[in-house]
Structure formats: structure tokens, C-alpha cells
A and B are shown apart, each in its own frame.
Chain A
Amino acid sequence: MDQGNPLVEETASAVSSLSEEVVRVEGLWKVYGRESKRITSDKYSQMSKDDIRKKTGNIVGLKDVSFSISKGEFFIIMGLSGSGKSTLIRNLIRLIRPTTGRITINGVNITKLSENDLLEFRKKTFGMVFQNYGLLPHLTVLDNAAYGLKVRGLPKGKQYAKAMRFLETVGLSGWEDYYPNELSGGMQQRVGLARALANDPEILLMDEPFSGLDPLIRRQMQDEFIEIQDKLNKTIIFVTHDLSEALKLGDRIAILHDGEIAQIGTPEEIVTVPADSYVQEFVQDASPAKVVTAGSIMVEPEVLLYSWEGPRTALSILKNARRSGAFVVDKKGILLGVTNINRLERIIENPVESQTKRIDASAITKIPSVSEDTILEDLFGIVSANPYPIPVIGENRRLVGVVRTDDIFETISPNRGDQND
């Protein structure tokens, strides 16, 4: 880290505030077996996991995996059972030693850390949540939540105060003296979450944290977790095999296939442009309506009226464009609503109102608008209720584009791709 020049650091962080890299994985291999090192040579890089196992008896857990994760990102690792998800996430915290490759976290190559440095590093950087909670059954909920703090060597009082606060965050106040086996699965996982959060980790690792839960509880936990994350804004690396969970939570998704990364992209990219047939199969049940956003299919409005131009200009613009109506914005580009030929003509005929040069508010109908990241599914109600394209507004209610009904249905129709028949 360059501590020398504060100016440099400041500009650097200002520039990269959007994409400050926290995790970088390069050429990571994990091979289980006797001759693990040999397998990472070029000779085997073209062979499939199955062939390598049959030929050499070694099991490839991860094969030449590279990616990076930015600060504050919600990064999903997805794949079928055995695809290497757990192996990958455990490599990041070095619960498993990589066979070859580099893992850089906050600029530190952790594959080279000594045992002691590694322990320190885990304490200050990571929190981890496990599929089967990983709680200590002989300790109370409170002691479990405080365990990370205990390992850090905090005094008992501080441990408990902090642990209590996070038990409250996850909605478990009042349960601190119970034992884990007296709690439901969902509640146990809240304890696991509180334990991880209590350490105030920079990066939260979660290995299928909600897979063990009933669908209903799972959805509830996801929603609550989104809320918690909104407040805390951690970097999260989250393993799941549930596509809808991935699409709902993730900023980006990496799809693993036999230890290799098949595709990395935003939920939208993964669903709309699957990289190969494996990903395609994965996402075939996903409705683009759940991932594609209004912002990504919006277009410029063909005709746009400015309120200060006055009704006469507006009328002639509409007539020239052979349009019956259009959106109206003010000087700042803020959307005022829609108007149409009939209403414009009416205010022109009315002498009192025509004295004002602006298009009068009485000629404008307010209509519902959406934001850029509204998913298509949420547009359906609006589409059916009004005949106009849907206005998309950005910051300060400025109109940034419109979504046409045709585009919505074209995007979500199942035979948009070529692989489907």
C-alpha cells in the first residue's frame, strides 16, 4: 500500500470507488490427489475433469479459475453439485490450500502467508456463514454469536455487548440463553449470520447459507438479508445452486462447471446471453422478466415535447410526426406527464389559457413512471393499465427513456435465443 502521498491515495480511491478490487484470483487450481501438482501442467489443461480422474485418479476441484471482485459487490458462485463451489470459497480463506495460482486479497497474496499471518488475516478480513450453520452445540446462542470476538481476544463484556447487538440485527433478541438445538433451522442460521457479522468483517463468505431452509423461510431470510446488506454494504461472496436466489441477490454471478468458470456476468447477461449450453440449461427456467431491467431495454422517446415551447409548437410537432400524443418535460428535463392533440387544441381555443406561453398543466396527464433498475416483471401491471410507452426516470425525476410495450414482450418471449427450438 502506498501510504506516502495522501493525495495519490485519495484520487486513487475516488477514481476506483466504483470498482476498488478486493479479491483477485488468478489461474487457481485445486486438485485433490497424490500427484496434484502434475495435473496443473499444460498437458492436462485441455482434458475434462472426468478424463483426468480416469487417467490419473486425481480429482480436479478447480481448474484454472480467474476472476476479481470489487468492494461492496454481491458476488454469486453458482453451479451444480460437485462443480467446485465450496472448494473455491474455502480457498479464498485458505481452509483449503490451493494447488497452484494466486489469490490476492486487498493486495496481499494469501497463498504465501505464514500460519500466524493467516490466522490474523482471517480474523480481520473474513466472516463466514455455513450451509449447516456450523454452530457450537455446547455453547449458548450468545456465546456462539460472540465466538469470533472471543478468538480475537476481546474482553468478555465487549464480546457480549457486540454479539447482543448483532443478535438484535438478525432478529434474535431474547434467545441469547438458549442452545442451538432449541432453535429452528432459520433461527440457527441467523445465529450463524450474527456470529459472522459481529466480527465486522470486510468480506462475508456464505456457502449455501439458505439451502437448508424451507422455501418460505428461505425467501424471508433472503429478503431480510437484503435489508441487512443495504445497511452494512459488505463485500459478499455467496455460494448457491438456486438460480432464483442468485438472480435476486447477485450483482454478478460466476457459473462453475466441473471446476471451470463457464461464465461470469450480471444476472441479466447470464440469463439473456448464456455463454454455452451448460449455462443455457442452467438458466432456461429463469424468466428474463425477473432480471432484465427497464433501463436496459428503454429507448429514446421518438417525440418529446418541452413545456416552455408552448401549445402551438407542440401541436405542430405532433402533427408533423403523425402522433396523437407525447411526453412532456420541463426545462430541467423533469417528466411532467403526457399530452395529446385533443387537449392541446382545447387550450389553444381557450383564449385565457393560451395567453400563457407554456403548455398548461391542465393539458397534461400525469402517468406512472419507473426507474432504470425496475425489472420487467414489475412493468406488466403498468403496461396493461395505460396505452403509452412507460417512461423511465432517473435521478431527480428526469426522463431518461421510455420502454415500449413491444420491446417488453419481445424480450421475454421464450424463443428469443437461437439454441431453443
Chain B
Amino acid sequence: MIDFPEIIRIPLRDWIDEIMSWLLNNLETFFDAVGWSILQVMLGFEFVFTHIPWFIFIPLAFLGGWRMLKSLSSGITFALMLFLIGTFGYWEMAMQTLSLVSASVLFSLLIGIPTGILMAQNNRAESIIKPVLDGMQTMPSFVYLIPALMFFGLGRVPSVIATIIYAAPPVIRLTNVGIRTVNPEAVEAAKAFGAKRKQVLWDVQMPLAKPSIMVGVNQTTMMALAMVVIGSMIGAKGLGMEVLLSINRIEVGRGFEAGISIVFLAIIIDRLTFSLSERTSQNNQSHE
């Protein structure tokens, strides 16, 4: 009586397995194509990042910090952090991680911004997509690894896929909210002059939503970086893999070096993308 009766059983796992195998059998070429294009982009980034010598990359980071954040000390800090990563012997891994993050962010934005626009312009789309986003964000990120792994095998591609699923929601949400909270009078004004939907979107809504969208880009980037360790579980090389290995081998020192390298990258990327969002909002204060 205490145990749940074994006879009542919904074979959800069988159904899902069946769906998966159906998808795998019938959409194989599709997944192959997707995987291939992701891989090309990924390789492109990797090529760029691993071919920039460290003695050029570090001054670039310095310039970026100095120019974009308008503070010399930020530039120096960035350069120092990258230098430290080099001294840990993680330069190449850091570049691999950066390529992974860059590719994932690129795809997240390519998918996320149009989705956000669609949500903002269509109430029904919003009511369907919103719960999906909630689900995506509350689900443990490991879960994404399973379908990614099944469709794309081991390696960089599934890792990027899982990262996209995990990191896209913020930019989708903030694009939607940004467009919806644009000063309604500015939108009405454009409409009153006979502007088409597209013109309203590009002349008014997108420029005015830009600060909000840039915050979304910042958050998406940070979440992509946070996914690095998890992504390495299915074979993405880079700092994440290093952390994972040192956890397995209980090598605290090594884990710390890899971990702090990720933190350094995170700080640099965060500050730079944040400064982008700040800059867009300067000339853009909407009127109350």
C-alpha cells in the first residue's frame, strides 16, 4: 500500500527516446548541416584567436580597457590579468575558451534578437515563448547536454549548442522588454507620420531599445562563459576542461589556476560589453 503501484506507469522515457531516434533517423542531414556550420564559425574564431600572438593580444586588451572604459587603470588591469593567464600556462586554452564563448554568443544573438523582436510585436508569440524561456532557465544546465550530445556527438559543436540554449534567454527577454517599454509617444509619432511597421521598428523601437538589448548581450555573454565548465563535460577543450580535470584528480592548485583564469576572462568581457551598453544609453535617454 505504501509503495506507488507499479502498474501505473507512464512510459515518458520511452516516448522521448523514440522521438529522439525518429529525429535522428529522419533529420540527420539537417543536424549534420547545422553542426557543420557551427563548427565552421567555431573554427574561424579559433583560427583568429589562436593566431593572434600574445604580445599583440595583451596590448589590444589594454587599449580596449583604456579607450572603451575611459580609464587607464582598467587597461592596465586587463593587460595584467591576461599576462597572468599566460604565466599559468593557459594562454592557448584561454583562447579556445574565448572562441567557444564568442561563437556561442554570436549564435545566441542571431537567434535571440529576432526572437525578442517577434515577442515584442506579437502578444501570442510572447505568451508562448515566455514559459519556454522560464523553463530553459530553471532547468539544470546539464540537461541540455543530453540532447546536444545525442544529435551532435562529442566535441565543440554540442557544447556550443548547449551554451546557446542556456545563454540566449537573457537577450531574448531584454530585447522584448526593451522594445515594449519604448516611449509609446515616440512610436505613435512615427506611426502618425505614416511609418510602416518596419520603419517604426528600425527608426524608433530598436534604437530606443538598444540600451536594454545591450544589457541582454552582456548577460548572455556572461552566461555563455559560465557554461564553459559544463560544456567541457562533453568535450569542449579549453579552461573548462582543465577545471574539470583538476576536480576529478583533486588537484586544488591546478583547479584554482584554471578557475581564476576563467574569472579573469569573465571580468574583462563583462566590463567591455557593459561599457558598450552604457555608451548606447548615453545619447538615448528617453523622456519621461
Contact = CB atoms under 8 A, between A and B. Distances in A.
Task: Indicate, yes or no, whether A interacts with B.
Answer: yes
B283 A137 contact: yes
Nearest to A150: B203
A199 B286 contact: no
A238 interface: no
Interface string A174-193: 00000111000000100010
Given A130-B185, A132-B185, A136-B203, A151 B287 contact: no
Nearest to B206: A138
A133 B190 contact: no
B37 interface: no
Interface string B189-233: 111111110010001100110000000000000000000000000
Interface string A115-158: 00001111100111011111111100000000110111000000
A256 to B, nearest CB: 20
Given A132-B287, A136-B207, A137-B208, A122 B188 contact: no
Residue of A131, A136, A147 most packed against chain B (CB within 10 A): A136
B208 A131 contact: no
Contact of B194 (A123, A131, A133, A179): A123
A147 B194 contact: no
B284 interface: yes
B194 A122 contact: yes
B196 to A, nearest CB: 6
Nearest to B200: A151
B189 A180 contact: no
Contacts of B185: 130-134
A135 B189 contact: yes
A126 B192 contact: yes
B245 interface: no
Contact of B190 (A126, A127, A151): A151
B189 A123 contact: no
Interface string A302-319: 000000000000000000
Interface of A: 90, 93, 95, 119-123, 126-128, 130-138, 147-148, 150-152, 179-181, 188, 192, 195, 199, 205
The 8 closest A-B pairs by CB, nearest first: A134-B189, A123-B194, A134-B185, A122-B194, A128-B192, A148-B193, A119-B194, A138-B207
Given A128-B189, A132-B183, A151-B195, 18 more contacts: A95-B191, A119-B194, A122-B194, A127-B192, A128-B193, A135-B287, A136-B189, A136-B203, A137-B208, A137-B283, A137-B284, A137-B287, A138-B284, A148-B193, A148-B194, A150-B203, A188-B287, A195-B193
